[in-house]
Structure 1
Amino acid sequence: MTEEEIFQQLRTICARILSVDPARITADTDLRQELDADSLDMAELAAASEDRFHVTVDLDTAKQARTLADMAGLVHAGARVG
């Protein structure tokens, strides 16, 4: 699965978690600044990513992610390792 495919699926998951229109989320959207995501939202996104993609996403690293592209990169890296 490519990072772009991962991103598209993560965008849907993220939109559900943050209760926003998926069209508001681009690869460079700052999830914290622009969409008011907090550390609990990021933890939920990490958990949902693990469930969806069957990878392990480090929670501390996920909490540091700023954009959905960052999260897609974490998932993609986990998919290659795991």
Structure 2
Amino acid sequence: MNQETVAEELASLVAEVLEAPDLEVAHDVDLEGELGLDSIRRGELQARVNSRFGISLDMDDAPFYSARTLRELADFVLATRPAGGDE
């Protein structure tokens, strides 16, 4: 998987968390400032990301919680995935 693919999947997960399935999320949009992805919704997103990408993020993963855009989240997810974890 590459950054673009992961960002697309994250966009879908963000839309689910925000309960807006038709929402198109640009990869450089401010997730908190423009979309309202607060800490509670980040927790929901974290659970979905763990499930979808087979990783184990927790509340101590500051880069996940401080990422402002899908691109930053995608980079973090790619760095966190186990080697050979491509689907």
TM-score, normalising length from structure 2? 0.79
Aligned ranges for residues 1-80 of structure 1 at < 5 Å? 1-20=1-20, 21-23=22-24, 25-60=25-60, 61=62, 62-80=64-82
* Displacement of 1:40: 0.9
**For structure 1, which runs of at least 5 residues remain unmatched after alignment?**
none
What number of residue pairs does the alignment pair up?
81
RMSD: 1.8
4+ runs of 1 displaced by more than 2 Å? 19-22, 56-60
Is contact 1:57–1:75 with CA below 8 Å preserved after alignment?
no
Deviation at 1:56, TM superposition (A): 2.4
Aligned partners of 1:28 and 1:68 also within 8 Å: yes
Calculate the TM-score normalised by the size of structure 1: 0.84
The structure where helix makes up a greater share of residues is: 1
SS in 1 for 2:81: helix
Higher Rg:
2
Q: Alpha-carbon deviation of 1:67?
A: 1.1
